[in-house]
Amino acid sequence: MKSKLLHDLSSNTIRVILTQLFSFVIFYVLALSFSKDEFGEFNWCLAILLIAFTILSFGIDQMVVKKIAEGKDASLMTSIYFLHSVIAGLAFYILLLILYFTLPVFNKSILLLLGFGKLILFLSSPFKQLANGLEKFRLLNFMSITSVALKCEGLLFLFFAGMLSLQRAIIIFVCADVLEFLISFLISKKILKIPLKFNCNFLGYFQLLRESLPQAGVVVFTSTIARFDWVFLGIFATNLVLADYSFAYKVFEASCLPLLIIAPLLIPRFSKILQSSTQGEKRLEENLVKLIRIEMVLACFTSLLLNILWLPVINLITHNKYGNGGSSVIFILSFSIPVLYLNNLLWTVSFVKNRYKMIFKAFLLTFILALVLDILLIPIFKGNGAAIAYLVALGGQFIFFLKNSSSFFPVKKTVIAIIACTFASLASEFFAAQLYTNILISLFFAIVFFIFLLLAGKQIIKQDFYFLKRMVRL
């Protein structure tokens, strides 16, 4: 069991790291190759499509994984999900065609072409969830990484050959998405040997839809929160503003890579702790106290690195194209990193305690805050307004979670960890900036001062290392 857990964890980690790495390289190459106007428009179209196709999953993907893992007919579940993907995907693309010919803001050939690729990629999701439910994680990795790897290779080839253009990039995106669908379908049929059943099981389809309703709301809110700011910037600001903001946001997302690796570990471990004994609640709270402190140290250290390295590194690698324009945005977004870690912890504990209604309310609140603040702030403050809206929306989610979890969540110690680690990060950045102009020397002394402050504030203690080792072995 332990070796299987480590194998599954390593597979997940590899997939997350490679996907993030390829995605960032793609983003970086496009940022260098396109004009800011083209880059902004390209990202606006991708944001629209990401939101749309995530919503169209309707939470069925997670339900299918659960049912296949429970031993339900894998062929039937995959076929029903594929039926949903065809119906929802075609309906959306028809709507996109109507909007293209009726509304000026959607009159973009880029959107139609990329949308076709994303439609085909959407049809590959049932086969990926099949592999996930059967715990065939190596095959899942191959299915999931194909498209992004092919895009990365194709764009790099054209970039170094001096042949990369917007039209050629779109062709690569569409071809890679189509190839991922074909590979996923063939793996499902030839290796997993799970055939699709084309008998239009509408009764089973509507039953699955009803079961997925509780999760559907969370899917809608999380998908829109992630990219609504991009969409509104494309409408209320300019493509140039969106280009600066999207570049900063992508770097911010990449900086959250440790959270993407840690998050999948928490649900099974917290569930085991709660079910292990009558002292499960007490053990969970003890573990949370340690984990909160460790995650706050990691999150604030990431924020420190972001703010110190942003201008010199980004200006260097983009030839002064994106560093200055995104510096204030990245500073605001860096405050979101600790909040993201805490919200993930609070969500995880709530999830293992089956508090689904409370989770739904938390994401509904976040969605409303993000929507209202984007509409109010973006027309005035542009990219900074979008970053502030995102930070405040996450902060509202955190306060709501904390207020509704005070009976089992260590509120006082959480607040202390937030204040101590945030102060250490800001003080270290200020200290290094005042004393040294060389970036490497500034970075070295900032890290040393940060660790010193955390040790003095007892936010790093020796027992933390033993705790992390036990968590991995659970």
pLDDT number for residue 5? 47
Decide: residue 93, CB within 10 A, 0-12 exposed, 13-18 middle, 19+ buried.
middle
Instruction: Show the DSSP H helices in 256-355 as ranges.
Output: 257-276, 280-309, 315-317, 323-334, 336-352
CB 279 within 8 Å of CB 39:
no
pLDDT number for residue 1? 44
First to last CA, the chain: 10
Answer yes or no: pTM beyond 0.85. Answer: no
Q: What residues does each domain of the chain span?
A: 1-212, 237-474
User: How many angstroms separate the Cα of 255 from the Cα of each of 260, 341, 347, 436?
Assistant: 10, 12, 20, 25
pLDDT number for residue 244? 94
Long-range contact pairs involving 442-451 (C-beta distance under 8 Å, separation at least 24): 442/308, 443/305, 443/308, 443/309, 446/304, 446/308, 447/301, 447/304, 450/300, 450/301, 450/304, 450/424, 450/425
Per the listing, tokens 């998908």 go with 223
Which residues have a Cβ under 8 Å from the Cβ of 376 and sit 6 or more positions away? 385, 389
CB 166 within 8 Å of CB 42:
yes
pLDDT number for residue 268? 64
Per the listing, tokens 């857990």 go with 5
Written as six digits, the tokens of 15 are 């997939």
Q: What is the pLDDT along the chain (474 residues), one digit of tens a residue?
A: 444 444 555 566 777 788 888 998 999 999 999 999 999 999 999 999 988 998 888 878 877 877 887 788 888 888 888 999 999 999 999 999 999 888 887 778 899 999 999 999 999 999 998 888 887 878 888 888 888 999 999 999 999 999 999 999 999 999 999 999 999 999 998 898 888 877 666 777 788 877 777 667 777 777 777 788 898 998 888 889 999 999 999 999 889 888 877 776 676 667 667 665 555 567 777 778 788 888 999 999 999 999 999 999 999 999 999 989 899 999 999 999 999 999 999 988 887 787 878 888 898 899 899 999 999 999 999 999 999 999 999 999 999 999 998 877 788 888 898 999 999 999 999 888 887 678 888 899 999 999 999 999 888 777 666 666 665 555
User: DSSP string spanning 110-175?
Assistant: HHHHHHHHHHHHHTTHHHHHHHHHTT-HHHHHHHHHHHHHHHHHHHHHHHHTT---HHHHHHHHHH
Give the integer Cα–Cα distance in Å for 80 and 60.
10
CB 368 within 8 Å of CB 420:
no
